Structure 1
Amino acid sequence: MMKLPALLLPPRPDLNRDARYPGDSDNRHANLPCCWRDWSNLGDGPVGLIAERVLAYDVADYVRFRAVCSPWRQSSTEPRTHSGLDRRFHPSKWTMLREELTSPTGRSFLNTSTGQCVQIDIPELRDHELLALTPEGLLVLARKPPCTTTLCMLNPLTRQLIQLPPLSSLLPSEFHDDMLPERDALSLQGSHFRAWGSGILNDDSTVVLCFHHLYMLGMAKPGDDHWTLLDYDDGCIRATPMMFQGCFYCINQSGLMVLEKTGGPPRLEVAAKLNMPFCRMMDTFHLVNICGQLMLVHCHLGRMDRALFYDTYRVDLDNGTLLLVKRLGSAGHALFLGMRCSLSVSPKVFPSGSICADTIYLSFDINSRRSMMDGGYHLADDGVELPNSSVSRPHTLAECLSLANTIS
């Protein structure tokens, strides 16, 4: 259960004082100390102002604030009266951890800005399959068989559900609902239907649904009855798309591409050229968000000893260029890198020494991690941390975050 932040708790009364309100010996406040305040009756103005500031900081604190008492709820906005695409109520600072709780519907969520972890019950997981977690902190869900083409997005903190057009309006006929339960290879459990790279465009009204293994991109607004389809090809370059600040990005033989909707039908246009040599079949590219900055990580083999190296580039979208850097953000973040998604955190919000700044930690779906070649890569000196292979499950913070970022 989430606790009320200390900042919002009313002052604790001094129980040793026996002061009474003047002339109030017979009313209900008679035995209360003089510093007692009726916080539930602050008034609509002050409560509304506090609520706005709390919401601007974090929607999780806003949910806690509204849970304090009925007057506070009545004086603050109910999230479910607004559009589910309203970014003010999105838990964008929170990411869902992979490890499940005892309850089949319980999940842990980590605040990547503060290191705080909360446990949330999500009843929808009983009859829905998780396809992806969007950058806004929303869950992309699909109904389990036999209704596998029913899609929605869920805000795990406000409980708001956004209904989306059916999957059958996007996929070819061989993937339709009546055939999915009979074909294990096409099950929603399979990698074909992992929708990493999905999210909300910067018009705050359009949802992007990406099935990278099928090279298919769907666009729709809540209430639409079908998806607008855009086919794309990665040119045999191993890179996973991502949503960044309301824009869809992917990589193909032309370079770093961005989805454009203005001035014609939706299309992919070059946002930056790949200005480094690379092998299409061997190298991998990863788009990551570091402190609100779009970056590209290039994994490649060394020329002599065939060791793996990671080069990091800051994407200059204004000039369409890539700048080689040795730091993950100005404050030195740690990056947990997976094949389909990534997680960036500040070492300062976790116990000292538990994770290192300017270090790339590999998730368990990275091939080199599976073969125990490396667990962490230090950008400053190209040094490598070997993963611990003597235990059957993660036992350090770095390993737990690497597991949380692993997509099967």
Structure 2
Amino acid sequence: MASAAPQALGERDWSNLTAGPAGAIAERVLSNDYVDLLRFRAVCRAWRAGSAHLRARGALDRRFHPRRWVLLPCAFASLPRRLFLNVVTGEPVVLVLPDLPATSRGTPPRALLVLCRMGTHAVQLLNPLTGQLADLPHAASLLGSSGDLLRRQLRNLELRGAGLADDSMVALNFRSSSLSPKPGDLLWTRLTFHDGIISALPFQGRTCLVNSKNISVVGTAASQQHPPRRAAAAVHGRGAQAYLKNRMFLADNDGELILCYHVLPTNEPCNHRRCSVCRVKLDSRDMASLAMLQGKALFTGTRRAVLVSAAVSSSIDADTVYVCSYNDVAH
């Protein structure tokens, strides 16, 4: 006996969605995660057609940027394959990134990647999920040198982070300066800080920085006719010790900015650190202490921090800060 059609059973044939409803659902799916959109498109031809309008407008299109994914070190996969881990579900995804072996520098793993070609020293921005590239000014204009001197300077360059200053401007953050170009520009715009950058994080289309005095945001004016500028967003009150002896890190908790502060008590071993975690409220320019991490764990290294759901592994304890000494790996 033939089975009844879905309509006869009162069920909906979702593969027959028209372009309008399918497109609206696809937009909601993309707002959650780009990988979810890939899965949506893989269901059937009709859903692919209904979401055809959702295409990245270049490497700076924030809708397609990594959100809940971190790029793991080379030890977890062989080049050119690289392993991404979902910090919420623990799901791994392997992607082929043929551009990475030709690079000399990379940004933190939960972001866009800044690539510097070893042969030409051309600088590009890569979205590792979509493979899209944006050309940035040459490394020679970044450091003002060339030849062997440029190569030595690139090897010693300490990149603290990279992100967007707005929808069309990229910010590269070093120990004492931030450089912001637009794709296609020939020169970098340099913002020099008298107090060094301790931590940097791309956050909601802006770049947040921490120094020994406060948390600040790098962005552009509404008219975008003026160069990017840094504006203080909150005072953490930790003082110079935060830069000289202790550590501070910024982390993104699903749209909530988190500051973690490591205190190294006097007359105690270096591995006896005390940690405090605060929620940074950019709108009201203040901070509030957090006693719990909502079932997550915070992993911190020498320059970076990432929040991971305890559901990722049975070895991870919820509401715990893990202090790691090895995270400055070549990505």
Normalising by structure 2, report the TM-score. 0.82
Alignment of 1:311-322 (within 5 A): 311-322=276-287
Residues 1:197 and 2:161 aligned together: yes
Partner of 1:388: none
State whether residues 363 and 406 of structure 1, in contact with CA within 8 Å, keep that contact through their aligned partners in structure 2.
no
| 1:2-401 aligned within 5 A | 18-19=2-3, 42-77=17-52, 80=55, 82-101=57-76, 103-133=78-108, 137-144=111-118, 146-148=119-121, 150-173=122-145, 176=146, 178-179=147-148, 183=151, 185-187=152-154, 190-192=155-157, 194-201=158-165, 203-212=166-175, 215-234=176-195, 239-262=198-221, 265-276=227-238, 279=241, 280-303=243-266, 305=268, 307-328=272-293, 331-347=294-310, 349-351=311-313, 353-365=314-326
Asked if the contact 1:290–1:333 (Cα under 8 Å) also holds between the matched residues in 2, the reply is no
- 3-state secondary structure, aligned to 2:236: coil
Structure 2: which amino acid aligns with 1:282?
Answer: K
Aligned to 1:9: none
Letter in 1 for 2:113: L
Structure 2 gap ranges (5+): none
Quote how far apart the aligned CAs of 1:89 are. 1.7
For residues 284 and 252 of structure 1, what CA distance do their matches in structure 2 show?
Answer: 10
Following TM superposition, by how much is the alpha carbon of 1:295 offset from its aligned partner in structure 2, in angstroms? Answer: 2.5
Separation in 1 of the partners of 2:292 and 2:4? 61
Q: Is the 8 A contact 1:272 1:320 kept in 2?
A: yes
Measure the CA separation in 2 of the matches of 1:49 and 1:270: 38
Alpha-carbon distance change, 241 to 69 in structure 1, aligned in 2, over 3 angstroms: same
Query: Considering only CA atoms, is the larger Rg found in Structure 1 or Structure 2?
Result: 1
The answer on whether the counterparts of 1:285 and 1:299 sit within 8 Å (CA) in structure 2 is yes
Query: Does structure 2 conserve the Cα–Cα contact (< 8 Å) formed by 1:134 and 1:140?
Result: no
Mapped partners of 1:82, 1:225: distance in 2: 21
Identity, % of aligned pairs? 37
For the Cα contact (< 8 Å) 1:108–1:118, is it kept in 2? yes
What is the TM-score with the length of structure 1 in the denominator? Answer: 0.68
Contact 2:87 2:312 in 1 (8 A): no
Please list the CA deviations of residues 190-232 of structure 1 after superposition, one character each: whole Å capped at 9, or x if unmatched.
Answer: 351x53321012x3111111222xx231112222222211112
Distance in 2 between residues matched to 1:125 and 1:88, nearest whole Å: 23
SS in 1 for 2:183: coil
**Residue identity in the other structure for 2:210:** I
Q: Report the Cα distance in structure 2 between the residues aligned to 1:191 and 1:304, rounded to whole angstroms.
A: 33
Mapped partners of 2:247, 2:144: distance in 1: 28
Q: Distance in 2 between matches of 1:338 and 1:191?
A: 19
* 2:112/2:128 contact within 8 Å kept: yes
Letter in 2 for 1:292: G
Give structure 1 stretches of 5+ with no counterpart: 1-16, 22-33, 366-404
Rate the CA distance shift 1:122–1:77 in 2: closer, same or farther, 3 A.
same
Alpha-carbon distance between aligned partners in 2 of 1:229 and 1:138, rounded to the nearest angstrom: 20
- Counterpart of 1:310, as a letter, is C
- What is the CA-CA distance between 1:406 and the residue it aligns to? 4.2
Three-state SS of the structure 2 residue aligned to 1:123 is coil
Contact 2:88 2:312 in 1 (8 A): no
Aligned equivalents of 1:112, 1:132: Cα separation in 2: 18
Q: How far did 1:55 drift?
A: 1.8
Distance in 2 (alpha carbons) for counterparts of 1:233 and 1:139: 27
Per-residue deviation, 1:360: 0.9
Does the Cα contact within 8 Å between 1:234 and 1:251 map onto a contact in 2? no
- How far apart, in 1, do the equivalents of 2:286 and 2:4 lie? 70
Give me the whole-angstrom Cα distance separating, in 1, the residues matched to 2:220 and 2:208: 13
Secondary structure of 2:72's match? strand
**Is the 1:79–1:89 Cα contact (8 Å) retained in structure 2?**
no
Return closer, same or farther for 1:56/1:241 CA change in 2, 3 Å cut-off.
closer
1:121-167 Cα deviation digits (max 9, x unpaired): 111123234411475x42221212x212x122222222222222222
Give the C-alpha shift of residue 108 in structure 1. Answer: 0.6
Q: In the TM superposition, what is the alpha-carbon distance from 1:50 to its structure 2 partner?
A: 3.4
Q: Aligned partner of 2:263: which letter?
A: H
Higher relative contact order (CA 8 A, sep 6+): 2
Contact 1:141/1:153 (CA < 8 Å) preserved in 2?
Answer: yes
